[in-house]
Amino acid sequence: MIRGVQIDLISAERLDRLTSMEKIRLILDDVMEGNIVVLEKGLAPDEQSKLIEITMREITPDGFSGIEMETYPVKDTPDGFFSRLFGGKRSETRLTVIGPANQLKTIKKEKDLISAWVSSR
């Protein structure tokens, strides 16, 4: 039997329909099954904060040991004519990869390139 890793790519539209807690639960349930989750649009900083907190509560000895997460820093972009005029900015979250800490390892991270390695369980 061929051993592999399931990768779930979640679209921005699907994420937009979910509440913060629904997003976090979706990610953690998936990652705890040993899958890799790729979010087309990343999590807001407050959601990242809650993800860290809830991840900590899910860690068990000889079981789930946490997550590895890779994304680019939030990008500030001008939001429409008035924002450009008055200097307002919208924070844009970016492509994010999340996986089990014991299966996903970052090899190299640069400003515009993230290289990661995934192992099967």
Partner 1 sequence: MEFLVRTKQRISQFLKTLFKKRTCRIGIYGPPNAGKTTLANRIVRDWTGDAVGPVSEVPHETRRVRRKQDVTITGQNGNSLTFDIVDTPGVTTKIDYNEFIEYGFEKEEAVRRAREATEGVAEAMHWLREDIDGVIYMLDSTQDPFQQVNIMMVGIIESRKLPILIVGNKNDLPDASPARIKSAFPQHPVIAISSLEGTNMDELYEKMTAYFG
Map residues 35-54 to x or -, x wherever contact with partner 1 holds by CB under 8 A. Answer: ---------xxx-xxx-xx-
Kindly state the tokens that stand for 25: 């639960």
Which lies closer to partner 1 via its Cβ, residue 29 or residue 53?
Answer: 53
Distance separating alpha carbons of residues 27 and 6, to the nearest angstrom: 13
56 lines the binding site for partner 1 (CB under 8 A)? yes
Task: Indicate the residue type of 15.
Answer: L
Closest CA relative to residue 23, chosen from 66, 54, 64, 1: 54
Cα–Cα distance for residue pair 102/66, rounded to 1 Å: 8
Residue 69 as a binder of partner 1 (CB under 8 A): the answer is yes
Residue numbers at the binding site for partner 1 (CB under 8 A) = 44-46, 48-50, 52-53, 55-57, 59, 61, 65-71, 73-74, 91, 101-102, 106, 109
